[in-house]
Structure 1
Amino acid sequence: MKFLFDMFPVLLFFITFKWGERNVTTAQSLVSDYLSGIVSGGATTAELAPILLATAVTLVASILQIGYLLVSRKKVDAMLWISFIIIMVFGGATLYFQSEAFIKWKPTVLYWCYCGAFALAQFVFRTNLIQAAMGSQIKLPAPVWTRLSYAWMIYFLAMGIINLYVAYNFSTDTWANFKLIAVVAIMPAFVIIQSLFLAKYMEEPAQ
């Protein structure tokens, strides 16, 4: 359930973008009617309308997501805050400058921020973020925790590179598909494969 909640803005982006592609005239009209005060020039082209509309919906969804957690007095994870700040900055720039380049860079910046956070914790503060989050639930040998941290660093670094490759070598439609697949398929698959590998090392916490 938490996974779906965290991915709510991404799913809305994909749905809105696909709808906008199939209803370009309506999407362009919505951008002109409701976003004219935000986008430079006050109007947009039919080509950019779907991604601008999807970006605007994502910004609203992210604000509602954070607002709900704050009003409910629930903890907002650090990574969710990072994601929120990045989407506000890059999404806002996408709308204002009418450039899809900013929103296409957003996943890469987010992935590399996560990679940097893991690296900073591991090499500077000598803290394993995975162990800090899961150490009370499972017990693993110290070298395995370290390998796990390295695996996530490599994963985030690689995903950032792949995102840029897809963004600059394929259509925006293909990039949007990849963006969704990365969230709902690639990451869960990575977690499952990792869990299967780690199963043999797991020890039950001492009672």
Structure 2
Amino acid sequence: MNKFLFDMFPVILFFIAFKFFGIFTATAVAIAATIAQIIYSKIRYGKIEKMLIVSGAVIGILGGITLLLHDKAYIMMKPTALYWIIAVALLISNLFFKKNLIQQMMSNLIDAPAPIWNKLNLVWVAFLVLLGFLNLYVAFNYTENTWVNFKLFGVTGIMFAFFIAQTVALKKYLIAPLEEQGKLAEKDKSAHNKDETK
């Protein structure tokens, strides 16, 4: 939960600043919030996650152009640019470097064979590409207010639904939490002892 809130920090501040001051002030606030995230990560953990660096670069470039040209179109394209950069990274890493980034991120939750991981990687690529197109559609066919609401609530809801669908589809590969594993072990041990006493 703390990780989720940390990742959403710039988006939440962008939303609040937009409601009170408009999209250009919100853009400046989001840039400042992302820089603050980077500094905090470096001080707190001694390193900065690659995803945070990429996010910082994208919002720094597109947000900077938005403020420089006073053109909101660039900041509206930022989510799409980020989704598509991640999608390309997932695809290239898997196809050309034989590194499955989704597997690296989720191997503590899922124990699946290589073909399943490769399919899951492609599903993520397709999902992010579609999410990028959806962002562009909302950004340039609806009002600023609708897009900002979609950026916070719509995308979060879509992501949550995607995670739920992914969990259901891969339920037989899910790794049980340690406490659950302990309960199962105790249950098996108890059943084994009963069999021996018969």
TM-score, with length taken from structure 2: 0.84
**AA paired with 1:128?**
N
The number of residue pairs the alignment matches comes to 177
- Distance in 1 of aligned mates of 2:130 and 2:3: 25
If each structure's helix is expressed as a fraction of its own residues, which one has the higher value? 2
- After superposition, residues 90-129 of structure 1 pair within 5 angstroms as 90-129=62-101
**Structure 1 gap segments, 5+ residues each:** 21-49
- Distance in 2 of aligned mates of 1:182 and 1:78: 25
* Secondary structure class of the residue paired with 2:48: coil
- Distance in 2 of aligned mates of 1:174 and 1:83: 23
Whether the 8 Å contact between 1:10 and 1:58 is mirrored in structure 2 is: yes
Segment of structure 1 superposing worse, 156-165 or 68-77: 68-77
- Choose from 156, 161, 164 the match for 1:192: 164
- Distance in 1 of aligned mates of 2:37 and 2:175: 36
Paired residue for 1:147? 119
Whether the 8 Å contact between 1:7 and 1:183 is mirrored in structure 2 is: no
- Distance in 2 of aligned mates of 1:150 and 1:5: 27
- Distance in 2 of aligned mates of 1:136 and 1:178: 31
**AA paired with 1:194?**
Q
Paired residue for 2:106? 134
- After superposition, residues 1-207 of structure 1 pair within 5 angstroms as 1-20=2-21, 50-202=22-174
Larger Rg: 2
- Distance in 2 of aligned mates of 1:184 and 1:164: 16
- Distance in 1 of aligned mates of 2:171 and 2:109: 13
Q: CA deviation at 1:134?
A: 2.6
**AA paired with 1:168?**
F
- Distance in 2 of aligned mates of 1:14 and 1:102: 17
Identity %: 45
**AA paired with 2:18?**
F
RMSD: 1.8
* Secondary structure class of the residue paired with 1:76: coil
**Structure 2 gap segments, 5+ residues each:** 177-198
Q: CA deviation at 1:74?
A: 4.1
Where does structure 1 differ by over 3 angstroms across 4 or more consecutive aligned residues? none
* Secondary structure class of the residue paired with 2:74: helix
Q: CA deviation at 1:128?
A: 1.0
Q: CA deviation at 1:80?
A: 1.2
- Distance in 1 of aligned mates of 2:12 and 2:151: 10
Seen in structure 2, the aligned counterparts of structure 1 residues 7 and 128 have a Cα distance that, compared at 3 Å, is same
**AA paired with 1:189?**
A
TM-score, with length taken from structure 1: 0.80
